[in-house]
A and B are shown apart, each in its own frame.
Chain A
């Protein structure tokens, strides 16, 4: 049974259970759609504030319905398919972009009382988790979906039959594929601590215990910050958001992969992009910040506190992504690749090995000091080797060039 972890499916599966499952799906769908509406508005307002502008303020109170108005406008627009495009793929691509975005949200626990009830809530007499599905492969679904999300961007650019989108999609595919490695390696550090792939178990694991009574047992602390930072950077790159938005770099590639898209197809890409931003923030919260776990302050409405904590934590990262966008300049393609391959991947791999060594040392009862010392020495030796290799290659390249031309 795929969904065996959720207590809902441990009872006899009858009509009520199916209805509750359906309800969860519909609710999740609605929640993310509304969240996107507000995310777009929020981003525009915050950036406007940072840039001494007002931002949207006409449609609805404080311009809240601006996104809705924009979406309606896009619906009404003419649907253009470029003449040199590959029509079938061109029409398929937006859907390839949005389906993984929706699916990822399914594994995110957005609420539940992790203090005393193991993260489940009671709906219509049935105990269930506040997440659409809790498959045993859990976080792997997120990695799988983020690797599928490349198709949308890549095929959109290729099928447009135009040069700027093609450049954008070539960049996108290389960028997303290579940053997935760093992303996966930093997720591995979390899996190593939790011992489970299930997102629910991860949250439950972080909700338990803590240091000194008030420092929570969050993975961000347990894994030692480095995987969190790598995940944040690689996640931003995976989202194609600034400073890694080379895929749609407006100044160079006009609109990147979606240059040729208009009307509803463009709206779908736009939706997918913001869905991914929300998903990524939610995944960060789940992996590193204990998801919806947090103290229940008023006993009567214990189901509400999980959702509240989750939203608060989510908000921090949504704001951070907006902040990045308002502040940072964009990397160049080769710099991005350098950062990914020469820094993030070796670092996350090294850190993962370090954590693994600590865990094994713990199991075998080795002296922790010796383990840390040996791994640090090993890490530095490996790092030095890597640096030396990179430097040698570079000097050789330059000297060859000077020999040839100088």
Chain B
């Protein structure tokens, strides 16, 4: 565990000071500001009820569930191959990554293992959906701070990645490509070279964002020292992904628990940043996109040959038992806990989605910040509503 710097302690203390301030306010009684569920900055239907005093937040409560779709219950009436169609839509920006932990958990129960080529392709698509997802964050963060242009660059360049995903899987957003025991199909012809080019473009995009957004002084003034999450607080709220790495915790499931993906076969680095503020979360994500493009390029180089599908029965019945598999998805750690009674359908599925835990820190984090910072902090936590409400 990393140590908390004095500066971080100070910010931590300062955030708590707002709480003490509440009862001392004489003249102004404050007011309740209801952000959402219909609000331009909450990416959907997250609702924040903020008690504010002037421009300062005294307490903030997130209200979730406006988009609850009952996926955990719905999976109980879907056969295993059908479930992937549903869970694609949890984190709709990096949909392929949603399928992977579920399939891995099912494979674990069935005790089948995908052939090496399938594992490689799985990892490549997994990383590409991370790029497609996080690239949008890089642009969107700038929009939330008030710069409207970068997000259009993000949409423009994300399109390249989506095109590549589409030409493999047939779906831009909802690939539904992962199968128990392997993948539906192999790469199309010429795909590998195109993808290498796309990865170069994405690296250029990262450089562009670095100059355009990260180096901007106003952007730094708006994000540095704002929304500081000390490592211990972050861990106690169950934060994961870049949010916790932005607080200096060196934890990445891709490295620590590869379980079926091949991240341990190649050379890459887990990025962390000690500050724990909005800026560090942005910084970590930017580095991760870079790193992901490197991972994809390396995996393309070392792609083994062979089949993409193991031998599995035509009608899949998963043997009775329980399995939990967690992977490092674009938004953070995502896991599926599957309980099977040996049927065609799962008996019970529990989905551990990253955003739900990541957003749960907001009541603590938003104390004492200013109203505009609500928006930047929420943006820097980077949640997808589908990932919160499932």
Contacts and interface: CB of A to CB of B under 8 A. Distances in A.
Direct A–B contact in complex, judged by CB atoms less than 8 Å apart: yes
Contacts of A246: 372
Residue in A249, A330, A406 whose Cβ sees the most chain B Cβ within 10 Å = A330
B335 to A, nearest CB: 32
Contacts of A242: 146
A117 interface: no
Contact of B216 (A253, A329, A398, A401): A329
B147 A327 contact: yes
Interface in A21-64: 47, 50-53
B371 A330 contact: no
A326 interface: yes
Contacts of A398: 10, 14
Interface string B307-350: 00000000000000000000000000000000000000000000
Nearest to B373: A332
Given A329-B145, A333-B55, A252 B218 contact: no
A140 to B, nearest CB: 32
A52 B153 contact: yes
B219 A329 contact: yes
B298 interface: no
A47 B41 CA distance: 21
A150 B263 CA distance: 59
A137 interface: no
Contact of A252 (B148, B152, B375): B375
Main secondary structure of the interface of A (DSSP, over half): helix
A303 interface: no
Given A243-B146, A402-B10, A405-B16, A252 B153 contact: no
B9 interface: yes
Contacts of B40: 250-251, 254
B143 to A, nearest CB: 7
B156 interface: yes
A325 B143 CA distance: 12
Contact of A330 (B9, B16, B33, B145): B145
Contacts of B142: 329
B147 A252 contact: no
A12 interface: no
A51 B148 CA distance: 9
B216 to A, nearest CB: 6
Nearest to A167: B371
A333 B156 contact: no
Interface string B125-136: 000000000000
Contacts of A406: 9, 13
A245 B370 contact: no
Output the residue of A327, A334, A405 with the most chain B CB within 10 A.
A405
Interface residue range, chain B: 35 or more
Contact of B14 (A252, A332, A401): A401
Contacts of B147: 327-330
B257 interface: no
B1 interface: no
A404 interface: yes
Nearest to A405: B13
B146 A249 contact: yes
Contacts of A329: 142, 145-147, 213, 216, 218-219, 222
B148 A326 contact: yes
Nearest to B31: A163
Interface in B145-175: 145-149, 152-153, 156
B17 A405 contact: yes
Contact of B17 (A164, A254, A326, A404): A404
Contacts of A335: 221-222
B42 to A, nearest CB: 10
Contacts of A328: 146-147, 216, 218
A47 to B, nearest CB: 8
Contacts of A47: 148-149
A332 B148 contact: no
B149 A51 contact: yes
A318 B271 CA distance: 43
A249 B152 contact: no
A402 B20 CA distance: 13
Contacts of A245: 146
A311 B17 CA distance: 54
A341 interface: no
Contact of B146 (A50, A254, A330, A405): A330
Interface string A301-330: 000000000000000000000000111111
Contact of B372 (A254, A326, A333, A404): A333
A58 to B, nearest CB: 20
A328 to B, nearest CB: 6
Contact of A53 (B20, B152, B219, B370): B152
Closest 3 CB pairs of A and B: A330-B146, A51-B152, A329-B145
13 contacts: A51-B153, A252-B371, A328-B216, A329-B216, A329-B218, A329-B222, A398-B14, A401-B10, A402-B13, A404-B20, A405-B16, A405-B17, A406-B9
Given A327-B147, A331-B218, 11 more contacts: A242-B146, A249-B146, A251-B41, A252-B41, A254-B39, A325-B148, A329-B146, A329-B216, A330-B146, A332-B221, A401-B17
Interface of B: 9-10, 13-14, 16-17, 20, 31, 33-34, 39-41, 55, 142-149, 152-153, 156, 213, 216, 218-219, 221-222, 370-375
Interface of A: 47, 50-53, 163-164, 167, 171, 242-243, 245-246, 249-254, 325-335, 398, 401-402, 404-406
